[in-house]
Structure 1
């Protein structure tokens, strides 16, 4: 694990031996895959130092050098800060993972909107005296619960966006599907597009975006005619698990939009686990999201065993 530190507006990391293969230029460009414009701004504003000195970006990095990046500068919040009692399952100087409850949007659709997880994130950061604004890295549907990742500064946001795109952030979901799924595991590879006849619904469509869902059956609840399924996504399309399970004839229980039964008060979907390597510390981060609502069917499942 890399040694890191926060000093005022500056983030400091001690260069590990594994980074000696990089120059500053290639560390930002190839390792972190930071946007060119962002890196250009860092260089122009002298916001990156090595051992406290403005560096030559083309020289190889050396073990135990002190890399300082000015990350924690003041930004105006894009969201109205609003206190809400939302559990945090991981936090450091760069990111927060919330355990989102049901009935809450991930972010507002317009600046004046409140009641979303982004409003809670803005309040939490403001209350802690953090000057940056939060940026959601991915979304969960309003009635889907579980782990949602927010970045606390523009650099980590860009890095995490790229990691999500390259599938190095692994997200695991638990779902209750209607009916008994006979196969133990499978992959649903069906493109997803908009439904022309419904403003919010999606559907499997040959002209849609590529979408791949892997699933594994954990339990068959025959008395209730439900199957408990673990899902992993290779892509992150809107409503992906909901559309894909419906497409194989097993919609989520409670999912009225996709013809689910009324055995649940909402779509029975929970983002139970998130795993990734921290871009700065190189630590493996594993976030488990406990069930908030204590749903009677999920209640006997230990999220830490998933």
Structure 2
């Protein structure tokens, strides 16, 4: 029985159905398709009455002298609007020697979507200045409706497989149907998990806030005439020193090169000059006849 079960699982299930009074094997696929289309039509027909599923997120960067106090205010703001703080992270920021220690806090809060704007407005007051703000939204209504339709379809198939198992006459047929039923139930669990996730993300908005201490401001100073002259003289000295250093480096580099290439050239030139002078030596003038 085990040898024929692997290759003819679907066929066995259908044969058991055909042997069962009142149930036809050909109607399973047709009924499933009809249920699928009916489920999709039902869900999409009711889409206008279903609240849109929008995932809202907000990001804030605030400056405050006390990040700890800012964290307390954000926690109070989230709780006052029916939300809560998910995580908070403190961090010591590196500073230059002698400067005041600086720290920052990153807070992730979740609030009901209906309270998103009000909570965001209150969280802004947790700092003295808003450095950066970003608000985004993602409409997942279409995906939610699609998940709903597929979930209805899978649950209908689950009911059909349960009915088939009740009417199955052979053990192998029942096992084959049970395997398919397990696959359908796994898909149902996955779809239900996705639906819960979308509902949770749409029901609760996320606000991420970074609280940082003000950055030290370097005061600008106006230099006087004497300071300007002194700075100009210093620049001139630096320029002159750079030129002298360049000349010294050039001499150090060029002298060996000139000696290496120049000496052979000078010797060749001198040898050629002697040969030219030798061939140009004037002939002795003839002695006149007496």
Q: TM-score under structure 2 normalisation? A: 0.23
Bigger Rg, structure 1 or 2 = 2
Q: TM-score under structure 1 normalisation? A: 0.22
Higher fraction of strand: 1
**Higher RCO (CA < 8 A, seq sep 6+):** 2
Higher fraction of helix: 2
